[in-house]
Amino acid sequence: MQDERSYTSQKIGLWCNFVFVGLTAVGWLGIAHFILPAHANLTADQTKQWYTRDHHWGVIVGCTMFYIAAGLLTPGSIAFGIMLSKIEGRHPLWSFTTAVCGVFISLIIFFNCCAWIVAAYRPETGADVIQAWNDWAWFAFLLGWIYLTIEMVATGIVELQDARSQPMIPRWLTWYTFAGAVTIFFAAGPAFAKSGPFAYHGLLAFYVPVVIWGSYIALTTWFMLQELERERTAGAVGTPLPEPVAIG
């Protein structure tokens, strides 16, 4: 009975990641229209129009969905940490790091959503104030790349310790995770550019990191769910993996 409850809890936690990805795509990218956000090189008046006229209710509703999704990322991130700790064993530093960084990202998203909603909230607010809130939200969102990089590196470190013939996470995804952790450094670009690929609406600073982030969460969750099902079948849910591990 205890193993069954553990299985159910871990499965719910992992599924929270899928819900997060779905709500983010529908709410933030779709309804809030951040798939094509206000460009960093818009004037203050143009930015105000984007928030208060063109996408007023879309931003409010879509970002509401996004911060709800961020709340669900918390148990999802902790579920990542639990699954990884079964590989790492005692004193699972990197597994805890993965979980904690995920929680930090959840908080970052919450505050970003508050700022974007503030930018759309009062149409009578001055254009310079709205532009400042928009800039702050984007910098807080994208410059948080450091936490995602640390999370992905920590995840990969633990995955490499799984020396079983059928590891929890396939090696190709582990190396993708490491490559993605390096590539999302492009999200540091908005501090130095208002136009082009490194602006906060640009290909390298925004679209590439978001795709890497979403695919990392979705693919890692999928394989962890498969591992959890194998554990359940073997009757070992919630216990450390039985085979010795080694970096390789």
List the chain pLDDT tens, one digit each, 248 residues: 557 788 999 999 999 999 999 999 999 999 999 999 999 999 999 999 999 999 999 999 999 999 999 999 999 999 999 999 999 998 999 999 999 999 999 999 999 999 999 999 999 999 999 999 999 999 999 999 999 999 999 999 999 999 998 999 999 999 999 999 999 999 999 999 999 999 999 999 999 999 999 999 999 999 999 999 998 888 765 555 555 444 44
Query: Any idea what DSSP says for residue 37?
Result: P
**Residue extents of the structural domains in the chain:** 7-234
Please tell me the distance from the alpha carbon of residue 117 to that of residue 58, in angstroms, as a whole number.
10
Q: What is the pLDDT of residue 6?
A: 86
Q: What is the pLDDT of residue 244?
A: 46
Please tell me the distance from the alpha carbon of residue 31 to that of residue 25, in angstroms, as a whole number.
9
Please tell me the distance from the alpha carbon of residue 214 to that of residue 211, in angstroms, as a whole number.
5
Helices (H), the chain: 2-23, 44-49, 56-88, 93-121, 127-142, 145-160, 171-183, 208-234
Cα angle value 69/70/76 (rounded, 5°): 90
3-class state of residue 168 by DSSP: coil
Q: What is the pLDDT of residue 4?
A: 79
Contact call for residues 169 and 162 (beta carbons, < 8 A): yes
Q: Distances in Å between the alpha carbon of 217 and those of 16, 38, 117, 211, 220?
A: 10, 26, 26, 10, 5
Residue 37 CB: number of other CB atoms within 10 A? Answer: 20
Q: What is the pLDDT of residue 248?
A: 45
Q: What is the pLDDT of residue 112?
A: 97
Residue 173 CB: number of other CB atoms within 10 A? Answer: 20
Please tell me the distance from the alpha carbon of residue 112 to that of residue 107, in angstroms, as a whole number.
9
Q: Distances in Å between the alpha carbon of 42 and those of 63, 198, 228?
A: 21, 15, 48
C-alpha torsion 204→206→207→211, nearest 10: 110
Q: What is the pLDDT of residue 234?
A: 82
